[in-house]
Structure 1
C-alpha cells in the first residue's frame, strides 16, 4: 500500500530545505551528513530519509527550488507599463529584495553546485541564464545606442550589475528593505551614468 502524504509535507520539506541551506553553507557540503541535517531540522534521521534518499538529492532540490523561484520572481515582475529606466530600477530592487533572507541558499549556490551531476548543473545554470538574459534585455533597452553591435559590452555591463548586487549580498546581507531600495537606486544610477560615458 502506498504511503499517504502528510498534510504538512510541504511545510516540513520547506523546513528541511532551509535547515539544509544553513548546514551546507556553514559546514560545507562535503562535511555535512544526513544525521547532521536531521539534527538541524529537529527530526529523526529516518524521517529525513522519508523526504530525501541522499544529501545529493537534498542539495539538488534546495538549489532547484531556490534558483527556479528566484528566476520566476524576477522574470515575472510586471514592468510593461514602465519606462526603460523605471524597468531597470524595479528589477534591480526586486533582485535585492529576493536576496533578503536567502544568504545560505546563495552561499550554497556558489560553493556546492559543482558537487551535482552535470545534467543537474545544466538545468540550474539554465535558470541563471534566463535571469541574466532578462536583465540584459532591460539594460539594452535603457541605452540601445550604446550597445548597438557591442554584444560583449552588453554582457560585461550586465554581469557588472550582478557583481554589484552580489557584493551587497556578501557585505550587507542583514540589510533591511529600505537599505536595499537605497542601494538599488545607487546601482542603477551608477549603471546609467556609466553608460553615457562608454
Structure 2
C-alpha cells in the first residue's frame, strides 16, 4: 500500500528548503551535511530523506523554486501600459522587491549553481535569461536611441543593473520595502539620467 502524503507535506518541504538555503549559504554547499540540515530544521535526518533523497536534490529544489518563482513574480509585474521610462522604473523596483527575504537563496544561487548537473544548470539559466530579456526590453524601450542595434551595449547595461540589484543585500541586509524602493529609484535615476539624475 502506498504511503499517504502528510497534511503538512508542503509546509515541511518548505521548511527544509529554507533551512537548507541558510546552511548552504553560510557553510557552503560542499561542507554542509544532512545532519546539519536536520538540526536546523528540528527534525530527524530520516525525516529529511522522506522528502529528499540527497543533498543535490535539495539544492536543485532550492534553486528551481527560487528562480522560477522570482521569474514569475518579476514578469507578472510588468506594466506595458506605462511610459517606457516608468516601465523601466517599475521593473527595477519589482526585481528588488522580489529579492526581499531571499538572501540565503540568492547566495546559494551565486555560489552553488555550478554544483548542479549541466542539464539542471541550463534550466536555471533559462529562468535567468527570461529576466534578463525582460529588463533588456524595458531598457531598449526607455532609450532606443542609446542602444540601436548594439546588443553588446544593451547586455552590458542590463547586467550592470542586475549587478547593482543582486549585491544590495551585502551592504543593506534586512532592508525593508521602503529602503528597497528608495534604492530602486536611485538605480533607475542613475541608469536613465547618469550622476546628474541622482
Shift of 1:20: 0.4
Q: Does 1:36 align with 2:36?
A: yes
User: 2: distance between equivalents of 1:40 and 1:195?
Assistant: 45
TM-score by length of 1: 0.96
Shift of 1:98: 1.1
Counterpart position of 1:96: 96
8 Å contact from structure 2 (residues 23, 32) kept in 1: yes
Size of the aligned set, in residue pairs, is 196
Q: Deviations along 1:69-118, whole A, 9 cap, x unmatched? A: 00000011140221111111111111111111111000000111111111
Shift of 1:195: 11
User: 1: distance between equivalents of 2:110 and 2:51?
Assistant: 24
CA RMSD of superposed structures (Å)? 1.4
Bigger mean CA deviation after superposition, 79-88 or 21-30: 79-88
Counterpart position of 1:116: 116
Shift of 1:167: 2.8
8 Å contact from structure 1 (residues 89, 184) kept in 2: yes
8 Å contact from structure 2 (residues 78, 90) kept in 1: no
User: 2: distance between equivalents of 1:109 and 1:70?
Assistant: 12
- The secondary structure found in structure 1 opposite 2:88 is helix
Shift of 1:149: 1.6
User: 2: distance between equivalents of 1:167 and 1:113?
Assistant: 17
Counterpart position of 2:147: 147
Shift of 1:141: 0.3
Q: Does 1:173 align with 2:170?
A: no
Correspondences of 1:42-191 after superposition (within 5 Å):
42-191=42-191
8 Å contact from structure 1 (residues 146, 195) kept in 2: no
In structure 1, runs of 5+ residues without a counterpart are: none
User: 2: distance between equivalents of 1:72 and 1:195?
Assistant: 32
Q: Deviations along 1:8-34, whole A, 9 cap, x unmatched? A: 111111111000000000111111111
TM-score by length of 2: 0.96
User: 2: distance between equivalents of 1:99 and 1:32?
Assistant: 24
User: 1: distance between equivalents of 2:159 and 2:66?
Assistant: 20
8 Å contact from structure 2 (residues 74, 131) kept in 1: yes
**Stretches of 4+ moved more than 4 A in 1?**
none
